[in-house]
A and B are shown apart, each in its own frame.
Chain A
Amino acid sequence: MKEPFIHIKNLRTYFHTEDGTVPAVDDVSLSINKGEILAIVGESGSGKSVTSLSLMRLIDPPGRIESGEILFEGHNLVDYSMKKMRAIRGNKIAMIFQEPLTSLNPVFTVGNQISESIIEHQHKSKKEAKQLTIEMLTKVGIPRPDRVFHSYPHALSGGMRQRVMIAMALSCNPELLIADEPTTALDVTIQAQILHLMKELIIEFETSILLITHDLGVVAEMADRVIVMYGGQIVEETDVFTLFKHPKHPYTKGLLSSTPKVHELKEELVPIPGSVPNPIDYPIGCRFADRCALVMETCRTVHPELIEVKPGHLVRCWLHERKGEGT
């Protein structure tokens, strides 16, 4: 079951702004296995969302995929025309966003929007599509789905809208669901409901999930594997248990120690000093060097490579250049 079906190889997505070029995604390689939840964690500007948008080929000027490959079912999506991409988007790869209100069309009913993609991709009749839509709405836990079918998005609560988005995304039984901060805009009790729902549904639909989030709590509850991004690059990649128990990159450690741990009585928050460097003018050495407590001479002058320190555990840090050393 766990074999990769999406390979991203050396992806570079740059934004050419008036102030200069922003390497939003800078040489990112990753693969997603069948049936797994891969999480990408990072703070604003780390490139996590742009990576997922590149995968869907949703990069608009001034952004551009400069180089790299996105291999899906043996084809390179980077070479696909927009017309060919349309057959993939929403059908084989679906996406849900942070703010469901902006991703739903306000002038069409919920049912109309979900059945549209079913008619388009699965070539069903209007009647069949309606039936399928109501089935999907039931599956995502919407009460009175036949009434919600005729509702407009504004009439629904945030949690219900996100359920509608999930119903829409899963309606064509995609291979991959990209969830970009799916619960960030929701209240915590609703977030718990949505996360629970997503977990149930991926078992039923056998969908893989690429989960983009900044919340390590959500990662710990959902992910199988985790990629930590910083400054447009992957700085650490490993399975979720190793990440929380034996993090290697100082940035990952910093993120963990600056996250409030609600279930411990005494805690100390150790913040990461400073802030993210300007992407137009990244340092030549390690991009985290200025904020790193363990910074060395080499870090400032030579850019570290992403090294496999243990099978499946990759780190971009000079401290771990030699295999298995350091903690």
Chain B
Amino acid sequence: MTGKGHLLEVRGLKKSFEVKSGFLKRNKNDLKAVNDVSFFIDAGETLGIVGESGCGKSTTGNMIVQLLEPTAGEIYFEGEDITKLKGEALRKKRSDIQIIFQDPYSSLNPRMRVFDLIAEPIRTHQTISKKVLEERVLELMKVVGLNPSYANRYPHEFSGGQRQRIGIARAIALNPKLIVCDEPVSALDVSIQSQILNLLVKLQKELQITYLFIAHGLPVVKHISDRIAVMYLGKIVELTTKENLFKKPMHPYTKGLLAAIPVPDPTQRDLKEHRVLIKGDIPNAVHPPSGCVFHPRCPYATELCAQEEPLFEEKESGHFAACHYPLREDKGIVYLREGNHHGEVHFESKKGDARFN
């Protein structure tokens, strides 16, 4: 991986937070929220990041948008390390990288009208006449599917889905090259989620935007991403194309995540009984396990896993994983079916993966 060629490249990114505990908060510990993460995103593609609470996915996103300062590591945007930028140069770069937040209720100023909310980023970064600004804002409202006649309303007059549309309009107002979508649909109802996902896909096609799409659930990420990174306790444990990830997951954690997703098809219930659940809870990030961070919950862990941290390396072309014993393709469990859901489901074996049982 080099800094050139990719729209965004992240190398050895780290972020620690100081955690105080104990009597009079005398014990200070480092919580390594993001611990040595590297990846790249090419122009026009969508990279999804999935992981459970506390895996560092949002912290990673916030560092890329420069809302948090990395403890270590570099973030190259169009070949330039943006962590070193300051002042005017940083301000200019900021208009190229935007963010959409999870909660459309707390991320919009309740005292501002929709018009001003959407105009705010334009006013901050550009000097244009009032008339041009007005045209631009009303056009943006149309693009994201908001009725322009609502421009003078306040956020509380809108539903969650509509508020998220306002957030999206703000994010695309400056024609950014990269948008970090931080769980943009997690707070929304199912029927509204798909409206927003479809809108994001449409905007990507029309405006050639690149997305870093962060979510805690694989179903949503899968829908929108070209490649997917799976994070666990501050590290990327697997990164590959979405086809690879679903067809032949290499990391046991990815496999466990796939098995844990409830399938909206009651006829697959019995098959799921054979899938193995990941045991236990996510460990405390202040005192992460030795060796491979996943080893206490991993069904395949050996002594090596407890002692030595596996390298995050390319196991197959375009398929990165951090595991001493990457899984090989198995025919027992089908995580992904070809064709539409009316097609025949073909299960090779009902017994599941022998190594799991």
Contact = CB atoms under 8 A, between A and B. Distances in A.
B102 to A, nearest CB: 14
A217 B337 contact: no
Interface in B161-196: 161-162, 189-195
Contact of A264 (B197, B220, B257, B336): B336
Interface residues of A, number: 46
A240 B264 CA distance: 10
Contact of A271 (B159, B195, B219): B195
Contacts of B311: none
Contacts of B274: none
A203 to B, nearest CB: 13
Nearest to A226: B266
B280 to A, nearest CB: 9
B206 to A, nearest CB: 18
Contact of A187 (B159, B191, B216, B258): B216
Interface stretch (B27-35, B135-143, B338-346): B338-346
Contact of B339 (A159, A254, A266): A266
Interface in B236-283: 243, 246, 256-269, 272, 277-279, 281-282
Given A263-B336, A271-B192, A187 B52 contact: yes
Interface string A208-229: 0000001111111101000000
B334 interface: yes
B315 interface: no
Contact of A262 (B52, B197, B222): B222
Contacts of A266: 338-340
B53 interface: yes
B243 A221 contact: no
A196 interface: yes
B217 interface: yes
A220 B282 contact: no
A196 B262 contact: no
B198 interface: yes
Interface string A173-201: 00000000000000111111101100000
A230 to B, nearest CB: 10
B335 interface: yes
B65 interface: no
A275 interface: yes
A176 B336 CA distance: 36
B264 A259 contact: yes
A263 B333 CA distance: 11
Contacts of B281: 157, 159-160, 190
Interface residues on B, range: 35 or more
Contacts of A196: 277
B223 interface: yes
Chain A CB count within 10 A is highest, among B190, B243, B338, for B190
B281 to A, nearest CB: 5
Given A255-B191, A271-B198, A261 B264 contact: yes
B218 interface: yes
Given A43-B191, A196-B277, A275-B161, A265 B243 contact: yes
A269 B197 contact: yes
Contacts of B261: 188, 217, 262
A221 B266 contact: yes
A259 B193 CA distance: 9
Contacts of B257: 188-189
Specify which of B194, B246, B258 lies most central, judged by the most chain A CB atoms within 10 Å of its CB: B194
> Which of B193, B261, B336 is packed against the most chain A CB atoms within 10 Å?
B261
Given A217-B261, A275-B162, A188 B52 contact: yes
B141 to A, nearest CB: 17
Nearest to A215: B262
A256 interface: yes
A39 B334 CA distance: 27
Contacts of B258: 262
Nearest to A221: B262
A17 to B, nearest CB: 16
A165 to B, nearest CB: 16
A244 B217 CA distance: 22
B223 A267 contact: yes
A218 B220 CA distance: 16
Contacts of A262: 218-219, 222, 246, 258, 261, 263, 335
Interface string B290-323: 0000000000000000000000000000000000
Q: Which of A187, A190, A241 has the most CB atoms of chain B within a 10 A radius of its CB?
A: A187
Nearest to B279: A193
A122 interface: no
A44 interface: yes
Nearest to A191: B260
A265 B217 contact: no
Contacts of A311: none
A154 to B, nearest CB: 13
A216 B265 CA distance: 9
A117 B216 CA distance: 36
Contacts of A214: 189-190
A129 B328 CA distance: 50
A125 interface: no
Interface of A: 43-44, 157, 159-160, 187-193, 195-196, 214-221, 223, 240-241, 244, 254-256, 258-267, 269-273, 275-276
8 contacts: A187-B282, A218-B262, A258-B195, A260-B222, A262-B258, A264-B341, A272-B194, A275-B162
Given A216-B190, A221-B269, A265-B338, 10 more contacts: A192-B260, A215-B190, A217-B264, A260-B222, A263-B337, A269-B198, A271-B192, A271-B198, A272-B194, A272-B195
